Structure 1
Amino acid sequence: MGRLARDQGTWNANHPRWRLLKAIDGFRSYRDANKAEVDRWREAYRHVGKDQKKLLESPAVNYRQKLNTLDHLIDRNALLSDAIAAHAQSFYAVSDPELSEFARDEAEAGRPAERVSVVQALKHYVRDWSVEGARERDPAFACLLRTLEGLYPDRLDGGNNNASAPPARVLVPGAGLGRLGYEVEALGGFEVTINEWSTYMIAAYRYLESHPAADSHVLHPFIDSLSHHATTTDLQRPIVFPSPESASLLNDPSRVLLVEGDFTTVFSSSSSSGSYDVIITYFFLDTARNLLSYLDTVFRLLRPGGHWLNLGPLLYGTGPWVQLSLDEIVRVTEDMGFELLDLDPVCGEPTFPGDAGSLGKVQGMEAIYGSNARGLTKSSYMAQSWVAQKAE
Structure 2
Amino acid sequence: MSHDITTTIESEPRDDSEDVRSWAGDFDPLADQDERRVLFAALDSFRQYRRTAHMNTTHRRRQAFYALPSAHWQMLAEPPFSILENFNRVDDAIDVNAEIADAILATGLSSFGLAPDPHPADPRGNWHGTATTSDVNKAHSTLRQFYRDWSAEGRAERELCYDPVIQDLRTEFGVRVAAGQEIRVLVPGAGLGRLVFDLARAGFSPEGNEISYHQLLASSWVLNHTLGTQKHSLYPFALHFSNLLSREQQLQTVRIPDQHPGTVMAESQGNPEAPRFGQMSMSAADFVVLYRQPDNREAFDAVATVFFIDTAPNLIRYIETIHHCLKANGLWINTGPLLWHFEDGANRSHENSHDPQDQGISEPGNVELTEAEVFCLVERMGFVIEQRQPAHERPLCGYIQDPNSMLLPLYRPSHWVARKKSD
- Give TM-score scaled by structure 1 length: 0.86
Within 5 Å, give how 1:86-235 maps onto structure 2. Answer: 86-95=106-115, 96-97=117-118, 101-104=126-129, 106=130, 111-112=132-133, 114-157=135-178, 162-163=179-180, 166-188=181-203, 190-212=204-226, 213-235=228-250
Distance 1:254 1:218, change over 3 A: farther
CA drift of 1:226 comes to: 0.8
In the alignment, is the contact (CA less than 8 A) between 2:191 and 2:216 conserved in 1? yes
- Superimposed CA distance per residue, residues 39-93 of structure 1 (whole angstroms, 9 cap, x where no aligned partner): 1111221221122123201210111111122222212221221111011000122
- Superimposed CA distance per residue, residues 328-365 of structure 1 (whole angstroms, 9 cap, x where no aligned partner): 1111111111001035xxxxx513x8xxxxxxxxx743
- Superimposed CA distance per residue, residues 15-45 of structure 1 (whole angstroms, 9 cap, x where no aligned partner): 3322211111011111111111121111221
Instruction: State the secondary structure of the residue aligned to 1:195.
Output: strand
Q: Partner residue of 1:346?
A: none
Q: Partner residue of 1:376?
A: 406
Q: 1:299 corresponds to which letter in structure 2? A: H
State whether structure 2 residue 264 is matched by structure 1 residue 264. Answer: no
State whether structure 2 residue 51 is matched by structure 1 residue 26. Answer: no
Within 5 Å, give how 1:45-64 maps onto structure 2. Answer: 45-64=65-84
In the alignment, is the contact (CA less than 8 A) between 1:183 and 1:249 conserved in 2? no
CA drift of 1:210 comes to: 2.0
Q: 2:77 corresponds to which letter in structure 1? A: E
Distance 1:248 1:129, change over 3 A: farther
In the alignment, is the contact (CA less than 8 A) between 2:151 and 2:254 conserved in 1? yes
CA drift of 1:128 comes to: 0.9
In the alignment, is the contact (CA less than 8 A) between 1:209 and 1:250 conserved in 2? no
Q: Which runs of 5+ in 2 are unaligned?
A: 1-24, 270-276, 346-364
In the alignment, is the contact (CA less than 8 A) between 2:233 and 2:255 conserved in 1? yes
State whether structure 2 residue 307 is matched by structure 1 residue 287. Answer: no
CA drift of 1:191 comes to: 1.5
- Superimposed CA distance per residue, residues 108-145 of structure 1 (whole angstroms, 9 cap, x where no aligned partner): xxx45733211211112111111100110112223112
- Superimposed CA distance per residue, residues 307-339 of structure 1 (whole angstroms, 9 cap, x where no aligned partner): 100000000113361111111111111111100
Distance in 2, matches of 1:270 and 1:279, equals 17
Instruction: State the secondary structure of the residue aligned to 2:126.
Output: helix
Q: 1:378 corresponds to which letter in structure 2? A: L
CA drift of 1:245 comes to: 7.3
Distance in 1, matches of 2:308 and 2:408, equals 20
State whether structure 2 residue 375 is matched by structure 1 residue 330. Answer: yes
The size of the alignment, in residue pairs, is: 361
Instruction: State the secondary structure of the residue aligned to 1:152.
Output: helix
Distance 1:375 1:84, change over 3 A: same
- Superimposed CA distance per residue, residues 144-196 of structure 1 (whole angstroms, 9 cap, x where no aligned partner): 12211211232243xxxx14xx22210001011111112222222x2111111
Q: Partner residue of 1:42?
A: 62
Q: 1:55 corresponds to which letter in structure 2? A: M
- The Cα RMSD (Å) is 2.3
CA drift of 1:7 comes to: 3.9
Q: State which drifts further: 50-59 or 273-282.
A: 50-59
Distance 1:113 1:383, change over 3 A: closer
Q: Partner residue of 2:385?
A: 340
Distance in 1, matches of 2:26 and 2:76, equals 56
Q: Which runs of 5+ in 1 are unaligned?
A: 344-348, 354-362
Distance in 2, matches of 1:24 and 1:322, equals 32
In the alignment, is the contact (CA less than 8 A) between 1:3 and 1:16 conserved in 2? no
In the alignment, is the contact (CA less than 8 A) between 1:215 and 1:242 conserved in 2? yes
Distance 1:342 1:78, change over 3 A: closer
Percent identical residues: 27
